[in-house]
Amino acid sequence: MARGANPFITHEKMYNEIKRNYYNYMSRYQQHLFICTNEGKEICCSAKGSAQMAKNLKLRCRQAFGQEVRINRSGCLGSCKNGIVAVLYPEGKYFENLSERDEDMLFAEVAKRMGDK
């Protein structure tokens, strides 16, 4: 780094560029559902069946909506001790205390936002 250069400005520019690229990339999806599949403890979402839920929803959404919906596994979303946690963007709607039985409800939430295509 050049003498006297401000590293904060460099990092800020880099952060803004990453953020801009992320939003440009993600804007091609109408809905983006993150499902916690964190592993490690018996209270973690993966121990409650979240990985299978994510796999099932990914297949169902791909068949129903093609490339307009993205389903991703995520790390811990912060409140898994009571059930599986998911978040749906762009609204940022959190779903907590889920179980594998809530797969149909999550699919319905995505479908509702997609205009029941």
Q: Of 47 and 66, which is predicted with more confidence?
A: 66
The number of folded domains in the chain is 1
Any domain includes 80: yes
With CA atoms as reference, report the closest residue to 113 among 77, 68, 74.
68
Q: Strands, DSSP E only, in the chain? A: 31-36, 69-74, 84-89, 93-98
**pLDDT for 70-103, tens place per residue?**
999 988 888 878 889 999 988 889 999 999 999 9
| Residue 58 pLDDT exceeds 50 | yes
Q: Taking the mean position of all CA atoms in its chain, how far away is CA 112?
A: 17
Domain limits at 52?
29-113
Q: Of 92 and 117, which is predicted with more confidence?
A: 92
Q: Are 103 and 56 in contact (CB under 8 A)?
A: yes
Any domain includes 47: yes
Report whether the peptide linkage leading into residue 7 is cis, meaning its omega lies within 30 degrees of zero.
no
Q: Of 8 and 41, which is predicted with more confidence?
A: 41
C-alpha triplet 26, 51, 37: angle, nearest 5°: 70
Any domain includes 49: yes
Any domain includes 109: yes
Q: Are 51 and 89 in contact (CB under 8 A)?
A: no
Any domain includes 17: no
Q: Across all residues in the chain, what is the average pLDDT?
A: 82
Band the pLDDT of 117: cuts 50, 70, 90: very low
Any domain includes 92: yes
pTM over 0.85: no
- Tallying the residues shown for the chain, one arrives at 117
Q: Of 6 and 11, which is predicted with more confidence?
A: 11
Question: Which uninterrupted H or E stretch holds 110?
Answer: helix 103-113
Q: Give the CATH number of the domain where residue 50 resides.
A: 3.40.30.10
Band the pLDDT of 63: cuts 50, 70, 90: very high
